[in-house]
């Protein structure tokens, strides 16, 4: 595990984008695992800039998103398909046939989950998986107590997650209560993982994810077992860590 602690959100966005840019330069046919939410928006802006400046090319890139709300059409402005289109896909030269996002409107969700896993395997797995982290330690939509061995599956969202996501909706009653998500096992199969965190409200879960017991009660703690994971956090998110020791050890 490597921990990169930077000053603020902008630095976190730049540093995490640098890692993804390096992956694309080294392998222009990379398979990227992508996250949504407010945290990676700055990173996506930096990736778009790197593309516009001619540093990277998305033509042969394949993407797999972590999750999608259940029963929300991809044209809905609250869907993660719409989010990815607006924040990245329509701004770069990615082949739309290489974009993969769970279909929350699928008639058979079990089949959709199995097919999603098959698509990932057929592409040789995810080269670099971008993650955010919820205040309850969830990664993807894998809430506390979900088994580590879970593959892509339907999940019931925790009350805290629904409350946190309500800022994107007109009211909390509009927030979906279920979603399709890559499972912990799927995430852990990625060759490299980059987790982003910003803000003081993430400090406790970051501390527990790095130093706490490995337990489904805090899903992100399983990342301690991954052979190549990087935490890119700002000083507020890292405020419970021994930053001086981290500087000596990692930077």
Give CA separation, 41 vs 46, 195, 198, 214, 231, in Å: 9, 14, 12, 29, 17
Catalytic residue among 65, 67, 68, 165: 67
Question: For residue 86, how many C-alpha atoms fall within 13 Å in the half-sphere facing its CB?
Answer: 14
Question: For residue 85, how many C-alpha atoms fall within 13 Å in the half-sphere facing its CB?
Answer: 11
Average pLDDT over residues 35-55: 97
Annotation marks residue 143 as catalytic: yes
Domain ranges of the chain: 2-250
Does position 204 have pLDDT exceeding 50, yes or no? yes
Catalytic residue among 143, 158, 164, 234: 143
The rounded distance, in Å, linking the Cα atoms of 16 and 46 is 9
Annotation marks residue 11 as catalytic: no
Annotation marks residue 136 as catalytic: yes
The rounded distance, in Å, linking the Cα atoms of 235 and 230 is 15
**Per-residue pLDDT tens digits for 137-180:** 999 988 887 788 889 999 888 787 878 777 777 778 777 788 89
Catalytic residue among 136, 153, 165, 226: 136
pTM: 0.92
Q: Which CATH number fits domain 2-250: 3.50.50.60, 3.40.50.1360, 3.30.930.10, 2.40.110.10?
A: 3.40.50.1360
25-39, 81-95, 145-159: least confident range: 145-159
């Amino acid at each position: 595990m490597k921990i990169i602690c930077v000053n603020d959100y902008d630095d976190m966005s730049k540093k995490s984008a640098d890692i993804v840019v390096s992956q694309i330069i080294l392998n222009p046919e990379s398979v990227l695992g992508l996250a949504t939410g407010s945290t990676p928006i700055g990173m996506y802006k930096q990736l778009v800039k790197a593309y516009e400046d001619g540093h990277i090319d998305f033509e042969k890139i394949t993407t797999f998103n972590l999750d999608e709300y259940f029963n929300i059409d991809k044209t809905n402005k609250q869907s993660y398909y719409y989010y990815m289109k607006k924040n990245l896909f329509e701004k770069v030269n990615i082949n739309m046939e290489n974009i993969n996002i769970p279909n929350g409107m699928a008639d058979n969700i079990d089949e959709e989950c199995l097919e999603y896993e098959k698509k990932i395997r057929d592409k040789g797995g995810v080269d670099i998986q971008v993650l955010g982290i919820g205040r309850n330690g969830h990664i993807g939509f894998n809430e506390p107590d979900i088994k580590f061995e879970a593959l892509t599956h339907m999940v019931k969202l925790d009350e805290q997650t629904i409350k946190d996501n309500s800022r994107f909706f007109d009211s909390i009653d509009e927030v979906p209560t279920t979603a399709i998500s890559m499972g912990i096992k799927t995430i852990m199969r990625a060759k490299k993982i980059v987790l982003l965190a910003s803000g003081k409200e993430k400090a406790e879960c970051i501390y527990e994810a790095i130093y706490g017991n490995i337990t489904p009660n805090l899903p992100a703690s399983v990342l301690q077992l991954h052979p190549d994971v990087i935490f890119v956090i700002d000083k507020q998110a890292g405020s419970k860590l021994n930053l001086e020791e981290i500087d000596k050890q990692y930077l």
